[in-house]
Each structure stands twice: as C-alpha cells, then as structure tokens.
Structure 1
Amino acid sequence: MNKKLEAVLLTQPKRAKYYITAAIIVLIALIWSSSAVNQMTLTDKGWRIGWNILEGIVTPDKDLLFGGGDSGVAYLILQTIAIAFLGTLVGAIIAVPLSFISATNIVPKPVVVVTRFVIMAIRTVPSLVYGLMFIRVTGPGPFAGVMTLAVVSIGMISKLFIETIEDLDSGILESLDAAGSTFFQKIRYGVLPQLSSDFISILAYRFDMNLREATILGLVGAGGIGAPMIFAMSGYEWHKVGAILIGLFVLIFVIEYLSDKLRQHLLHG
C-alpha cells in the first residue's frame, strides 16, 4: 500500500509539468488570437438594429408566418426539409461504397490511400463555395441546394462510416475470409448486420446538419428559407425576419426531438 502511494506521489510532479505546459500554450494561443481580432464597437445605429430585430421576433408578420402559398413560412420550411432530405439521401448513396473501399480492414492499403484522398479533397471545399459553383452550373433554385448538400454530405458521412467500419469485430471478417467469402459476401453477412443502427444514426445526424446548411445556402440563392430571410433583412423588414426565425426555431426543435428519439431507439431498442 505504501509503495502504491509512493508511486502516485512520484508521478504528481510530472503531471503538474504537463498541466502547466499545456496552460502556458493555451494562454499564448489565446493572446495571439486576440491580437488578430479587432475590438468590437457598437454604434447607436447598431443598437437600434439589434432592438428592431428583437422587436421583429416578438411581433412577427402573422400573414407570412401563418399564410399559405409558396411565399408562406410553412411552404418554405417544407422546401427546406425536402432539399435537406434529398441532399442527405444522394450523399449517402455515394458515400456508402466510398466508405467500404476506404476501410483498411476491407480492401488493400493502396486502394484506401486513393479513395481517402478523394474524400479529403471533397471535404476541403466549404459548402458555400459548392453552392456558388452549382448555382453557376444549374442556375439558382432548390436543385442547386440539393446537389450542394449531396456533395458536402459525402465527405462527412464517408469519414464517419469509415471509422465505424474499421471498429468492426475482426473475428467475423476473419471467419468469412477463412470460408472463402467474396468481397460483397463479407459486406452482406459480416458488415451490414453490425453497422445498420450506426449508419442510420449517422444519417439522422447529417440530416439534422443539412437542415441548417440548407438555410445558409438559401442566402446565396440555392433554395429554401434562407433567400426570403436575406431579402427581408436587406429591406429592414424585421417583422418578416422574426416570422422566418420563429419558423426555423420550430423546425429545428421538432427535428432535434425526432432525431434524439430515433437515436435512443437505435441504442436501446
């Protein structure tokens, strides 16, 4: 007992050095980062705009919030959901085969290097840049938003799928190899039964993210509820902005609740 206590006491100074070194590094990084940020200044005009935004949220445009037609908040929310859903679905369809041929426990390493380089290149470009590119190709509208979210989803879904595949029980794969199973048989009988719940959870998480991405992409003309919001903000129509923000809040709250329920069901049955 005394030897254990002595060993613990001897390791404490070493840990203290690590903690002090880490704290100094964080402090230096904080000071350096702060020097690159200009001091925030608020003018009287800024305070008035901030107050008008809060007033618009409290007293939203009821005609826009509860109105029908293709200019109402309900229609814009449905369009945003459709863009996010299709973008997630198309991205997942492409990401699944990419993930399997990027897992080191499924395919040889040279193939993994090439496919992971492709995935890394896809993830390098921000979603807004993809949005601007697709708008130039297809024109502004929901289709550009769907294609943008599909490409953006490929990178993240593939990365998470690869990590899940590489955490598989290797014993099952080795048994299938010993039985002479083909590549597709290993996936069908050794991989998919173990991964189905994890894959669904990842897709639900990406769909949740794509809803927010779809809103942002609307700001550059890729469909969804973002475009009317930026137009309303440009025209200082804060009551319309408040109506759209309330609609977004309700949408994200409902999707977050349903996503949590789905994850709990997948984890606990």
Structure 2
Amino acid sequence: MTTIEKQLQAHPRNMRYVLTLTVIIIALFAWSLAAVNLKDINQSGLKIAQNIITGILNPDLNLLLSVSKQSVLYLLVETVAIAFLGTIVGAVLSVPLAFLAASNIVPKPVAWLTRLLLIFIRTIPALVYGLMFIRVSGPGPFSGVMTIGITSVGMLSKLYVDAIEELDTKVLESMTSIGCTTFEKVRYGILPQLMSLFLSVTIYRFDMNMREASILGLVGAGGIGAPLIFAMNGYKWNQVGAILIGLVILILIIEWMSNKLRTKLVKG
C-alpha cells in the first residue's frame, strides 16, 4: 500500500455531511424538474421547432455574403467596433478606479468607498444601462459603446484591484525612501509590473463584450442584435440562420485570436 493510499484511508470520513449534501442536491434537482412543463408542447409547437431548424440549416446566403449596410458582414463589423471601443473606454476608466480601490495604495476609507461604487456598477445589468443610454443619446452604436464601457468597468476594476494588491511592495518602499511621489511610484514602480496582466484581462473582457454587444442590439444599441430579433419576430428563420452562422464564425475567430494574445502576454 502506497503512502497516498494510507493517507486517504486515514482521512476521516464524514458520512453525515456527504449524505446531507447528496440529499440537498437531489431535492434541488427534483424541484427544478417540477418547473419543466411538457403539457404545452403540441403539434403546432413541434412544427414551429421544425421550421426553426430548417431555416437555420438553410441560411440566406445573400444576406450572409453581401456587403450592403443591411448585410450580416456589415452588422458584424459594427458589433466588433462597439465591443472594441467599449472595452477601451472601460479599461481607461478602470485603471484610476482600481488604484483608488486598492488598500495598499490609498487610505482604507477611500478604498472602501471606491469599492462600494464598483459594487454598485456591477449590480446593474447591461440591458438596463443600454436602455438608460438610449434614453439619453438615442438608439445607435454610441449607446452600445457607452453601455459596454460602463459594464466593463465593474469587472475590469475588480480584477485590476486584485492584481494591484498582490504587488511586490518592496519596490514601492524603495521608491518611497528616495522621495518619489505617488504618481512616480504608480508610473515607474507599479504599471511596469501590471501591464501584461492588465492587457490579458482586457483582452478577456473584449471576448465577453462581443457577446454583450450582440445582445445589446436587442434594445436598439446598435450591432447585430436588432436584425436578429426582427428576423425571429418575422419568422424569417433563414435570415436567423445567416446571422447566427456569422456570429458563430466571428466569435470563434476572436476567441482564437484572444487566446493567442493572452498566451503570448503570459509567456512574455
């Protein structure tokens, strides 16, 4: 018998805990199944499902491959632009907020208040921000950019703060001893340590924002979401198929590129 096997056998077995946890999981699963209602599925519903699948498998190639302003290609480029600019806005706003929320950089009351602000920003869903900006600036890509930017701040600032608080403080202590100002410590002592991590997190957020930008089109914030919901409401399933194919291909390409960039940043 190996040492690992001996340690596993010697480890105390809390059967009561395991049994209780198993019962809770089974009860939650059974409760979730109770919400599934199959009675409303009738022949017409199955016919609609068949039409959806048939339309998606036979996409409108003219809509998919043309280069007009109503084409999938143009709308996907607009969606990428919204996600990219929104990510840049969010990253720029997140850097000063992250430093203000880091308790090893600023006094704890300031850090606590900034963290409270970031929690508030993260609490509001992206669709709510989208509706708010549409009321202020009207429907269009600008509303989408601002919505993506604000929603990115909540996540990026949190991850930036975690990275800042794990910094090697010896560098800061050395810079303090030679009389460096707070700005100089941030510029020459902190940012060089954090730049690759900040870029990696920002690229990951851009990958997420691509999906957010697609959804925001549903409320009129530009991008491909609005044509998708219009096609679904009009039962034009071949157009839905063309839009979904374009979205899937675009997201796969962006995810592949972002993974490559993050790998290079980590190795670098």
Report the TM-score, using the length of structure 1 for normalisation. Answer: 0.91
Aligned ranges 1:84-233 → 2 under 5 Å: 84-233=83-232
1:32 and 1:103 map into 2 onto residues whose CA distance is 42
How many equivalent pairs are there? 267
2:72 and 2:102 map into 1 onto residues whose CA distance is 43
Matched, 1:12 2:12: yes
**Cα distance, 1:258 vs. partner?**
0.1
CA 1:94/1:246 → structure 2, altered by over 3 Å: closer, same or farther? same
Aligned ranges 1:39-50 → 2 under 5 Å: 39-40=37-38, 41-50=40-49
1:248 and 1:7 map into 2 onto residues whose CA distance is 51
**Cα distance, 1:48 vs. partner?**
1.9
- Residue number in structure 1 paired with 2:240: 241
2:96 and 2:206 map into 1 onto residues whose CA distance is 19
The alignment's C-alpha RMSD in Å is 2.3
Give the residue type in structure 1 aligned to 2:204.
Answer: Y
**Cα distance, 1:238 vs. partner?**
0.5
CA 1:75/1:13 → structure 2, altered by over 3 Å: closer, same or farther? same
CA 1:46/1:188 → structure 2, altered by over 3 Å: closer, same or farther? same
2:54 and 2:173 map into 1 onto residues whose CA distance is 64
Moved more, 194-203 or 50-59: 50-59
Moved more, 49-58 or 73-82: 49-58
1:5 and 1:43 map into 2 onto residues whose CA distance is 56
Moved more, 21-30 or 139-148: 21-30
**Identity, % of aligned pairs?**
53
2:170 and 2:45 map into 1 onto residues whose CA distance is 63
Moved more, 47-56 or 58-67: 47-56
Moved more, 170-179 or 119-128: 170-179
Secondary structure at the counterpart of residue 181 of structure 1: coil
Deviations 1:188-246 (A, max 9, x none): 12211111111111111111111100110001111000101111111000011000001
1:70 and 1:167 map into 2 onto residues whose CA distance is 47
Runs of 5+ in structure 1 lacking a partner?
A: none
**Cα distance, 1:7 vs. partner?**
7.8
Aligned ranges 1:46-65 → 2 under 5 Å: 46-65=45-64
Moved more, 19-28 or 4-13: 4-13
Deviations 1:148-204 (A, max 9, x none): 111101111111111111111222222223333221122112211111111111111
Secondary structure at the counterpart of residue 222 of structure 1: coil
Secondary structure at the counterpart of residue 23 of structure 1: helix
CA 1:184/1:30 → structure 2, altered by over 3 Å: closer, same or farther? farther
CA 1:31/1:78 → structure 2, altered by over 3 Å: closer, same or farther? same
Secondary structure at the counterpart of residue 155 of structure 1: helix
Moved more, 62-71 or 169-178: 169-178
- Residue number in structure 2 paired with 1:256: 255
**Cα distance, 1:123 vs. partner?**
0.6
1:177 and 1:7 map into 2 onto residues whose CA distance is 49
CA 1:18/1:169 → structure 2, altered by over 3 Å: closer, same or farther? farther
Give the residue type in structure 2 aligned to 1:51.
Answer: Q
CA 1:172/1:58 → structure 2, altered by over 3 Å: closer, same or farther? same
Matched, 1:268 2:267: yes
Secondary structure at the counterpart of residue 37 of structure 2: coil
